[in-house]
Amino acid sequence: MSAITASPSTPMMESVSRAITASPSTPMTESFSRAITASPSTPMTESFSWALRVHDLNYTYPDGTVALEHVSFEIKKGESVALVGPNGAGKSTLLLHLNGVLHSSGSRGAIEVLGETVDPKKVHEMPDKIGIVFQNPDDMLFMPMLADDVAFGPINLGIKRDEVERRVRDSLEMVGLSGYEERVPHHLSGGEKKRAALATVLSMEPLILALDEPTTNLDPKSRSELIDILKRLKDEGRTLLIVTHDVNAIPELADRVIVLNRTVVADGTTREVFSDTEMLLAAGLEVPVIMQFFLVLQAFGYPCDVLPLSIEGAVRNLTRTIANGDGHVHLHIHKHTHSEVDSALGKYQHHREAGR
Ligand SMILES: Nc1ncnc2c1ncn2[C@@H]1O[C@H](COP(=O)(O)OP(=O)(O)OP(=O)(O)O)[C@@H](O)[C@H]1O
Ligand SMILES: [Mg+2]
């Protein structure tokens, strides 16, 4: 493909590869070996069923801002996990640790990716294991043409030209940017940049994908296409870690939710985490709007023990109720209905106020 002009000799590539490979030796690797080997309950052989293991990760920025404290969690191969938390909770900081980019003297703790300790000196070996889509696409797009940006990773992995061209074509097609090969990445719209940034990671075909706010800035069609892409990757068996404030997308994408607020404050199935109203409020989070709507329906007498998390769940729930109730859903207004509706809405009051 003529649009691919990237070669490892371009000054831009040199500076980037310098940036990612020139990490100073840090005590991180040592501390990880200590942390992992010191745990008799988790023999190393077992670790290969894990895609990611984070053990007691702490990180303080050079200005003294404590971003992560005692963060520990494990993600199995093929799992799809949503990482949620309020602004400033440390989500992006955590993601930047997963491929070693942010390892420094400010880090303590241990990270293992696909059974291997993350070694800041081997950051350049990480891209086909774990691909990270940063929150800000401008941090990922720096070549003169989009095809060069998408080809950059595979070329650095030493992949042959024909295969690089195939990957560029497929990745751009996947994110709906076929025909954009020669466009200047810097000139793309916000949503286009977001999709372009994803393509630069898809082209490396990583086994694990960590995405920071992938649906932000996308129009509804692009958002739903992106959700489909992520579902497809999940079905292919890739491991996904998706940082998001888009709670309505989570039930479709993730089986499990981790809530981070500098440390892990909750970790469970999507339903378990969304059912813990107190914890969600304390962390400044919300639940899918369909769940809130069914709380309101409950106040009108709709029989619903298990609140649906998604539209599909709602349809299943309604179908079941109608089938059991002779073809009708009966709603009632009692004296107390309005106060119950107020109470249902009040559960997430701070969000409605914030959104006004
Ligand atoms: N380069 C930096 N220097 C100093 N502090 C930083 C730096 N980057 C982030 N921080 C601080 O670290 C904390 C965690 O930031 P981080 O970007 O990881 O949060 P986040 O959970 O991704 O938030 P958001 O939802 O807004 O993206 C915040 O208090 C932030 O101000
Ligand atoms: Mg962030």
**Mutation test of ligand 1: which of 91, 243, 285 has the most ligand atoms closer than 8 Å to its C-beta?**
91
Burial of 278 (0-12, 13-18, 19+ CB in 10 A): exposed
Cα angle at 107 between 131 and 123, to 5 degrees? Answer: 35
Domain that holds residue 98: 11-282
Instruction: Look at residue 210 in the predicted model and tell me its pLDDT.
Output: 96
Same domain, 303 and 162: no
Residue 76 backbone phi and psi in degrees, to 5: -75, 155
* Domain termination residue (choose one: 231, 252, 282): 282
Q: Quick check: is 6 in a domain? A: no
58, 59, 71, 87: which to mutate for ligand 1, most atoms within 8 A of CB? 87
Co-location of 271 and 316 in the same domain:
no
pLDDT of 205 above 60: yes
What is the model's pLDDT at position 177? Answer: 95
Domain assignment present for 219: yes
Q: Decide which of 254, 282, 310 is a domain's last residue.
A: 282
Asked which of 201-215, 264-278, 311-325 is least confident by mean pLDDT, the reply is 311-325
> pLDDT tens digit string along 84-94?
999 999 999 99
Domain identity same for 227 and 299: no
Query: Does residue 323 fall inside a structural domain?
Result: yes
If asked whether residues 254 and 346 sit together in one domain, one would say: no
Q: Which of 71, 92, 265 to mutate to test the pocket of ligand 1 (most atoms within 8 A of CB)?
A: 92
273 pLDDT higher than 90: yes
How many domains are contained in the chain? Answer: 2
| Neighbouring residues of 272: CB distance < 8 A, sequence distance ≥ 6 | none
At residue 340, does pLDDT exceed 90? no
**Average pLDDT value for residue range 350-356:** 49
Residues 275 and 297 in one domain: no
pLDDT value at 264 more than 80:
yes
- Same domain flag for 162 and 246: yes
271 Cβ contact list (under 8 Å, min separation 6): 306, 309
The pLDDT, as a whole number, for residue 116 is 85
Quote the mean pLDDT of the chain: 82
Per-residue confidence band for 208, with pLDDT thresholds at 50, 70 and 90: very high
pLDDT digits (tens, 9 = 90+) for 149-174: 999 999 998 999 999 999 999 999 99
Q: In this structure, what are the phi and psi dihedrals at residue 244, rounded to the nearest 5 degrees? A: -160, 150
| Percent of the chain's residues with pLDDT above 90 | 52
**Tens digit of each residue's pLDDT (9 = 90 or more) over 49-74:** 899 999 999 999 999 999 999 999 99
The arithmetic mean of pLDDT across residues 231-251, rounded, is 92
Q: Are residues 276 and 296 in the same domain?
A: no
Q: Are residues 20 and 102 in the same domain?
A: yes
Exposed/middle/buried for 254, CB within 10 Å: 0-12, 13-18, 19+? Answer: buried
Ligand nearest to the CA of residue 93, numbered in listed order: 1
Is 83 a pocket residue for ligand 1 (Cβ < 6 Å)? Answer: no
Same structural domain for residues 349 and 233? Answer: no
- Please report the pLDDT score of residue 244 as a whole number: 94
Atom of ligand 1 nearest to the CA of 245: 25
- pLDDT value of position 126: 66
Q: How confident is the model at residue 22 (pLDDT cuts 50, 70, 90)?
A: very low
Report the half-sphere exposure of 158 (CA within 13 A, side-chain side).
2
Residue 88 near ligand 1, beta carbon < 6 Å: yes
Same domain flag for 305 and 178: no
Residue 91 CA to ligand 1 center (angstroms) comes to 8
110 & 248 share domain: yes
Residue 144 is assigned to a structural domain of this protein = yes
CB 340 within 8 A of CB 297: no
Is the pLDDT reported for residue 26 higher than 70?
no
In a domain, 97, yes or no: yes
Q: Are residues 73 and 215 in the same domain?
A: yes
Distance 220 CA to ligand 2 centre (A): 21
Longest pairwise C-alpha distance within the chain: 75
User: Is residue 65 within 6 Å of ligand 1 at its C-beta?
Assistant: yes
Residue with the two structure tokens 């295969």? 163
pLDDT digits (tens, 9 = 90+) for 311-339: 889 999 999 888 887 778 888 888 888 88
Q: From atom 16 of ligand 1, which residue's Cα is the shortest distance away?
A: 90
Single out the residue in 282, 310, 332 at which a domain terminates: 282
Q: Is residue 3 part of a domain?
A: no
For residue 61, give the CATH number of its domain: 3.40.50.300
Look up the pTM and report it: 0.82
